[in-house]
Structure 1
Amino acid sequence: MTTPRDVPTRRVRLEAVGNQIPPLIALIVLWMLLWGEFSWLNLLVGIMVGIVVTVAFYLVPVQLSGRVHPLHTVVFFVRLILDIVRASIDVSWLAVKPRLVTSNAILEIRLRTRSDLILTWTAVATSIVPGSIVVDIDRESSILYLHVLNMNSAGDIESFRRRVLDTERRIVRGFGSREDVERMRGVRPANRRAARSNGKGQS
């Protein structure tokens, strides 16, 4: 027999299970990406590994925003594909470039939101673009630490920093909560802001 006291407990348990579903799906997708090909065996093993990890280790609950903007979502994915293609060409050229002299760097980039979901998506979207990979994350301060190829000047570093912040902005506009969108409101795309700054400096 169900008592009124059991209802909140059951609800809490259901919410706890529901909060583990997004990390489980993310682990399965990550497992498939690591293998680089789809097969039912890889999918089955990915599900088993994901379940073991979510049960054996504590994963911070992911609070979904419950908001998706179709147009900004399309813009985000189209721009992500273009960034992957562009970066692939750049990295390929570095591999065959004669007299290659490159300078790599570890960059600290502080994001403007405090959402774990946006932080994770920004880290993933940045890492899958060739030439950079996330090496550490400061969740409390929303800081990404990235290893980046071919950083030869302060201008290269600032340009890469702007690209990461623009990626965060597009993710917020596509998937972020209303609070995230309001926090980002008025923040111009970095390239447009830089262009305006240069225009004022020349006038």
Structure 2
Amino acid sequence: MSARATRRRVATQVWRQLPFFVWLVALWMLLWGQFTIVAFVTGVVAAVFVTRVFRLPPVELSGRVNLWWGLVFVIQFAVALVRGSLTVALQVLDFRRLPGTAIIAVPLRVDDDLIMTHTGVTASLIPGSLIVDADRDRRILYLHVIGVRSDRDVERQRQSVLKWEERIIRAVGSKAQVERVASARAGGVS
């Protein structure tokens, strides 16, 4: 392999990993609650350290971001946060009965680590559910949910997670993933 081809390959890898590097710097600044030059510089140092010491395989991004579906995701996520918080608060304050709980398995529709991670994080951030395990090979998320009293409630929770997966795919998934979710939805397959 020529030196020119090697430089091109390295440059391509750097550009592919740039969004994750930027995310690490932003996360560092958010963790410290400071948006200053010092926080930025220390975030860059921390991101370089993390990306060099903990070498992870590169994650392939779809290269597609749909701003409309991204906005839909953000708005629906904010609504779900408020609704989940109120629901959990009401369940805690209802002394007449204990909220039912369950561990449910949710088989995801697409085979993508990044989509699975985003779906799991989203499901865990909404009050009332928490990811307890993820089976990467079979693409199954296991959630602990509260407020479950029947099989119908379990199925509603499962469909809710699948809906979050669909929203994430529509916002950042590849065209093939969008088509797969759309065909599964049209065929009534979840």
In 1: Cα distance, 2:121 partner to 2:39 partner = 20
| 1:56–1:159 distance in 2 versus 1, CA, 3 Å | same
**Is 1:169 matched with 2:166?**
yes
Give the TM-score normalised by the residue count of structure 2. Answer: 0.81
**Is 1:118 matched with 2:109?**
no
Give secondary structure in 1 for the equivalent of 2:143.
strand
Structure 2 counterpart of 1:200: none
Gaps of 5+ in 2: none
| 1:130–1:49 distance in 2 versus 1, CA, 3 Å | farther
| 1:148 alignment partner AA | V
In 2: Cα distance, 1:149 partner to 1:43 partner = 39
Tell me if structure 2 keeps the 8 A contact 1:23–1:62.
Answer: no
In 2: Cα distance, 1:186 partner to 1:9 partner = 41
In 2: Cα distance, 1:49 partner to 1:92 partner = 38
Structure 2 counterpart of 1:135: 132
Cα deviation, residue 171, structure 1: 1.5
| 1:184 alignment partner AA | V
Structure 1 counterpart of 2:60: 63
| 1:8 alignment partner AA | A
In 2: Cα distance, 1:58 partner to 1:107 partner = 33
Structure 2 counterpart of 1:12: 9
| 1:58–1:109 distance in 2 versus 1, CA, 3 Å | farther
| 1:68 alignment partner AA | V
**Is 1:148 matched with 2:145?**
yes
Give the TM-score normalised by the residue count of structure 1. Answer: 0.76
Gaps of 5+ in 1: 194-203
Give secondary structure in 1 for the equivalent of 2:165.
helix
| 2:173 alignment partner AA | G
In 2: Cα distance, 1:119 partner to 1:147 partner = 17
| 1:133–1:15 distance in 2 versus 1, CA, 3 Å | farther
RMSD (Å) for aligned C-alpha atoms? 2.8
**Is 1:105 matched with 2:102?**
yes
In 2: Cα distance, 1:84 partner to 1:8 partner = 48
Range with greater deviation from structure 2 (108-117 or 57-66): 57-66
| 1:77 alignment partner AA | V
Tell me if structure 2 keeps the 8 A contact 1:134–1:145.
Answer: yes
| 2:155 alignment partner AA | E
Q: When the two structures are aligned, how many residues end up with a matched partner?
A: 186
In 2: Cα distance, 1:28 partner to 1:104 partner = 38
Cα deviation, residue 139, structure 1: 2.4
Tell me if structure 2 keeps the 8 A contact 1:23–1:59.
Answer: no
Tell me if structure 2 keeps the 8 A contact 1:172–1:181.
Answer: yes
